[in-house]
Copies of this chain bind each other. A is one copy, B any other.
Amino acid sequence: MKVKVAINGYGTIGKRVADAVRLQEDMEVVGVTKTKPDFEARLAVERGYKLYVAIPENVNRFEEAGIEISGTINDLLAECDVVVDCSPGKVGASNKPLYEKAGVKAIFQGGEKKDVAEVSFSTLANYDAAIGKDFVRVVSCNTTGLSRLLATVRRAGNIRKVRATMLRRVVDPKEDKKGLVNGIMPDPVRLPSHHGPDVQTVMPDINIITTAFKVPTTLMHVHAVSIEMPEVNADDVLAILENEPRLMLVSAEEGFTSTARIIEYARELRMRYDLFENVIWKESVAYNDGELFVTQAIHQESIVVPENVDAIRAMFELADKEESIRKTNKSLGIA
């Protein structure tokens, strides 16, 4: 029996999680929701997803637009074992009572506060913490990127302290009303940023401090990370990083001079140019005066997709960590 998964919010994250779940043999998508009858709603139906209306009073609008629906969010919750909430940040928490009332498990995204769930989750960092849980929060794209990196680096030695500066894409590519057109915005201005404490929700023993900025690009975040740790050889670390499938190493020498070029490559690899892996510049990995330096790029739209799939497995005890990683990676083409 496959786990029945509902996707509440077939948007940037939701449509990717839906497609990923569909590729698994131990789970299935029983339906997805949309609030408005836009082209994403139409696409959902064309792809064979049963479509439910997230805001029941909008049912008429879907009918007028000629988009076939299968009911409302309430109908969908009656059909599923778990709902992956992919609402915009902060909306997820307000949906929780609905999920509790329906008696279904739920996964929330990193835009929600940590207390929305029993546990915050990032596969490489703390898969086991989600085993059997009812409410799990998959941490945000930036936190996922940092957690994966740190969970891998610590295989090379103890981490004493982490400092990271995050250059965040200001909006996703599809956004056309919000943004910063010309400028740099410290966000937050008051230091440190929330990313450090957020990493600690999945790796509580890591001493980390972060600063963050918004810059006028849509493609990827970039992290400048330094990790205080006992002396290591940069090549040894590189070998460890290269061995972790959820990290992808690229080289400026081969033409990867910017996030623009990384995305150009991604357009060749996967639909939607998704990059489920942290992308690490090989040349950036250096050990200097007690610190390991790493520069990585994070595709904010897709990086958390594998973690959402793993979270479902942990919550339903479908597989242990290694098996879930293996299955998720294989199905998504993460090599």
Interface residues of A (CB under 8 A from B): 15, 36-40, 42-43, 65, 161, 163, 165, 167, 169-171, 173-186, 189-192, 207, 209, 211, 213-220, 222, 224, 226, 250, 252, 254-261, 263-265, 267-268, 271-273, 281, 283-284, 286, 288-289, 291, 293, 295, 297
Contact = CB atoms under 8 A, between A and B. Distances in A.
A224 B209 contact: no
Contact of A215 (B42, B167, B178, B256): B167
Contacts of A265: 39, 43
Given A222-B213, A254-B38, A174 B260 contact: yes
A13 to B, nearest CB: 14
Given A175-B260, A189-B252, A189-B284, A224 B165 contact: yes
Contacts of A189: 252, 257, 281, 283-284, 295
B167 A217 contact: no
A323 to B, nearest CB: 29
A207 B288 CA distance: 12
Given A183-B259, A186-B222, 17 more contacts: A15-B268, A36-B255, A37-B254, A43-B265, A163-B163, A165-B165, A167-B167, A173-B263, A175-B181, A178-B178, A181-B218, A184-B215, A184-B217, A184-B220, A189-B295, A190-B283, A216-B216
A173 B286 contact: no
**This chain: copies in complex:** 4
A213 B181 contact: no
Contacts of A250: 39
25 contacts: A15-B268, A36-B255, A39-B255, A40-B255, A43-B268, A167-B167, A174-B264, A175-B260, A177-B180, A178-B178, A182-B217, A183-B219, A184-B215, A184-B219, A184-B222, A185-B259, A186-B281, A192-B286, A209-B289, A209-B291, A213-B222, A215-B217, A218-B260, A268-B272, A271-B271
B288 A191 contact: yes
Interface centre among A15, A180, A213, A295 (most CB of B within 10 A): A180
Contact of A293 (B183, B192, B218, B272): B192
A218 B177 CA distance: 14
Contacts of A180: 176-177, 179, 181, 258, 260
A182 B288 contact: no
Given A38-B254, A163-B226, A217-B215, A181 B182 contact: yes
Nearest to A40: B255
Contact of A267 (B165, B170, B271, B284): B271
Nearest to A221: B184
Contacts of A255: 36, 38-40
Contacts of A259: 183-185
Interface centre among A170, A173, A281 (most CB of B within 10 A): A173
Nearest to A190: B283
Please name the 7 residue pairs, one residue from A and one from B, whose CB atoms are nearest each other, closest first: A183-B260, A38-B255, A179-B179, A185-B258, A174-B264, A165-B165, A189-B252
Nearest to A289: B209
B217 A183 contact: yes
Contacts of A165: 165, 211, 224
